[in-house]
Amino acid sequence: MSFTTLGLSKPILRAIEEQGYTTPTPIQKQAIPIVLARKDVLAGAQTGTGKTAGFTLPLLQLLSDAPKQSGKPKVRALILTPTRELAAQVAESVQTYGKYLPFKSTVIFGGVGSNPQIDKLKRGIDIVIATPGRLLDLANQGHIDLSTVDFFVLDEADRMLDMGFIHDIKKVMAMLPKKRQNLLFSATFSEEIKTLADRLLNSPELIEVARRNTSAESVTQHIYPVDRDRKRELLSHLISDNNWKQVLVFTRTKHGANRLTEQLGKDGIPAAAIHGNKSQSARTKALADFKLNKVRVLVATDIAARGIDIDQLPHVVNYELPNVPEDYVHRIGRTGRAGNEGEAISLVCVDEIKLLKDIERLIKKEVRKVREPGFDVDPNIVAEPIQQRSAGRGGNRGRPGASRPNSTTSATRQDAGRGQSGARPATKQRSRDSHRGNR
Ligand code: AMP
């Protein structure tokens, strides 16, 4: 199947072709015709499935089909995302796919000055991609009118709820006109998501695509057993020896990320850190430098890495295993995207044996161990307790009981990534302000 049969116009097809996409992904195949038929959609799809194009392409088509507006553009489409990084990425996709169309789009998020955003809004915008907090601030100050929105997309709704955005979402919804088309994307479906979907969606079509399967052949997973104090040495050795060019490395804490970045720099490996204590501009720069291959290694904490999408990221390294097994699945899902090969390696010391067992139980397979010559494990070193996750991350993760919707489609379903319940772990609802302060 090619994109040409999906009912998209020439300017959109041309932009798709320039991206090098030849075949729609499963979520695109399903979502595009439904959105074009002007139906509400409840979609179960996570990052890496091509979901962004799944809603952006038909949305651009519908905007093109609508009668021409006279005067300054009004906001006709609103896409809400949980994080600034995701907002920026979605905005980039809207620009890319809409490059041969006349629509104006802009991205609105906190952590940066609001005046440039206000200026853009003043000039007239068709498509707004936003995180909820700043959008509400600007709406309350009268800088954006949401009463003309025809299409509302809630992207990564489960993360929005995890991050305590439910009240903000409701406030945004109250500013939208009653008659509109709604699309809700979520990787998982807790009771809260279902409640939100009931409120938001009007007789939605359900779409579900295979979740990223951790045992997918596109991601090769390895464990390198190593002594606690030799991890940095082994990492530098692996990067240099294998001449890895673009490596995303996960640490457990912000402090650990900073320290490792410095140490790698001393080893002659350019690295940048991305975590919640970094300013928005520092994070954007780190990500841009990494994408441009100016730095070889991006060291990230779990929260900061959420939503990061880098085309063809070849290597993910778990410098430290996450405390929560589901985070391992998220982390390695950063590689092997959209059909590309990826490699995920974990440096595991004696302290982390239990964490490794928990992960293997979740992904239902044993990860192959590789011994690097010169890095034999010292059997005399005894395990020490692992430093607990720093404050700010919900402590009640892994709550069972959430479920996925009954799909009405024939889409396949693989739950390997999430264990039996398929549930995204619940996190404490945090206030918007505390959330803002923490990231
Ligand atoms: P997403 O799930 O929207 O974050 O997309 C994941 C990645 O897949 C992005 O890097 C897209 O550029 C890429 N992508 C989206 N659609 C396609 C397609 N039909 N063929 C190949 N790559 C795609």
Give domain status of residue 95, yes or no.
Answer: yes
Find residue 297's DSSP bridge partners.
247, 271
Domain match, 257 and 353 both: yes
Domain match, 163 and 235 both: no
CA gap 313, 322 in Å, rounded = 20
Domain match, 176 and 244 both: no
Give pLDDT, residue 427: 35
In this predicted structure, the answer to whether residue 414 has a pLDDT above a threshold of 50 is no
Give domain status of residue 226, yes or no.
Answer: yes
Cα 16 to ligand 1 centroid, rounded to whole Å: 10
* Of residues 27, 32, 30, the one with CA closest to residue 12: 32
Give domain status of residue 350, yes or no.
Answer: yes
Conformation bin of residue 392: beta by default, left when phi > 0, alpha when psi is -120 to 50: left
Give domain status of residue 411, yes or no.
Answer: no
Give domain status of residue 400, yes or no.
Answer: no
Which H or E run includes 160?
helix 157-162
Give pLDDT, residue 403: 34
CB of 37 closer than 6 angstroms to any ligand 1 atom: no
Domain match, 55 and 119 both: yes
Give pLDDT, residue 310: 64
DSSP state, 306?
Answer: T
- Choice between 376 and 392, residue whose per-residue pLDDT is larger: 376
pLDDT tens digits along 294-339: 999 999 987 767 656 665 678 899 999 998 887 888 788 777 655 5
Give domain status of residue 196, yes or no.
Answer: yes
CA gap 109, 113 in Å, rounded = 9
Domain end call among 389, 404, 427 = 389
285 CB-contact burial (10 Å; exposed 0-12 / middle 13-18 / buried 19+): middle
Buried b (16+ CB within 10 A) or exposed e, 178-216: eebbbbbbbbbbbebbeebbeebbeebbbbbbbbbbbeb
Give domain status of residue 98, yes or no.
Answer: yes
CB of 53 closer than 6 angstroms to any ligand 1 atom: yes
Give me the mean pLDDT over the 15-31 stretch.
92
Domain match, 198 and 301 both: no
Confidence of residue 351 (pLDDT cuts 50, 70, 90): very high
CB of 309 closer than 6 angstroms to any ligand 1 atom: yes
Percentage of the chain lying above the pLDDT 90 cut:
56
Cα 225 to ligand 1 centroid, rounded to whole Å: 34
Confidence of residue 40 (pLDDT cuts 50, 70, 90): very high
Domain match, 184 and 264 both: no
Q: State the CATH number of the domain containing residue 345.
A: 3.40.50.300
* Of residues 431, 420, 349, the one with CA closest to residue 382: 349
438 CB-contact burial (10 Å; exposed 0-12 / middle 13-18 / buried 19+): middle
Mutate to test the pocket of ligand 1, among 5, 16, 19, 246 (most ligand atoms within 8 A of CB): 19
Overall pTM surpassing 0.85 (yes/no): no
Give pLDDT, residue 217: 53
In this predicted structure, the answer to whether residue 77 has a pLDDT above a threshold of 60 is yes
The two tokens of residue 402 are 């959430």
Confidence of residue 125 (pLDDT cuts 50, 70, 90): very high
Amino acid at 134: R
The two tokens of residue 252 are 């457990």
Domain match, 368 and 250 both: yes
**Residue tagged 């799809």 (tokens):** 45
- Choice between 410 and 385, residue whose per-residue pLDDT is larger: 385
CA-nearest residue for atom 16, ligand 1, is 50
Domain match, 166 and 282 both: no
Q: Can you give the three-state secondary structure of 73-133, one letter per residue?
A: CCCCEEEECCCHHHHHHHHHHHHHHCCCCCCCEEEECCCCCCHHHHHHHHHCCCEEEECHH
Number of domains in the chain: 2
* Of residues 249, 238, 297, 305, the one with CA closest to residue 271: 297
pLDDT tens digits along 244-297: 988 999 999 889 999 999 999 999 999 999 887 777 788 888 888 988 889 999
CB of 54 closer than 6 angstroms to any ligand 1 atom: no
DSSP 3-state of 315: strand
CA-nearest residue for atom 10, ligand 1, is 311
Domain end call among 208, 230, 253 = 208
Domain match, 155 and 248 both: no
Contact yes or no for 418/329 (Cβ under 8 A): yes
Mutate to test the pocket of ligand 1, among 309, 335, 340, 341 (most ligand atoms within 8 A of CB): 309
Domain match, 141 and 227 both: no
- Start-end of H helices in 181-225: 191-200
Give domain status of residue 13, yes or no.
Answer: yes
Domain end call among 164, 179, 208 = 208
Tell me the CA end-to-end span of the chain in Å, nearest whole number: 41
- Choice between 320 and 422, residue whose per-residue pLDDT is larger: 320
Confidence of residue 115 (pLDDT cuts 50, 70, 90): very high
DSSP state, 41?
Answer: E
Q: What domain range includes position 123?
A: 3-208
Q: What are phi and psi of 151, to 5 degrees?
A: -125, 130
Contact yes or no for 375/224 (Cβ under 8 A): yes
Domain match, 31 and 148 both: yes
CB of 225 closer than 6 angstroms to any ligand 1 atom: no
Angle between helices 132-140 and 166-175 (to 10 degrees): 40
Domain match, 154 and 264 both: no
Listing from the earlier edge strand, what are the strands of the sheet with 342-348? 271-274, 297-300, 247-250, 315-318, 342-348, 219-225, 368-369
* Of residues 300, 262, 263, the one with CA closest to residue 278: 300
For the chain, give the mean pLDDT.
83
Confidence of residue 408 (pLDDT cuts 50, 70, 90): very low
The two tokens of residue 8 are 């998209």
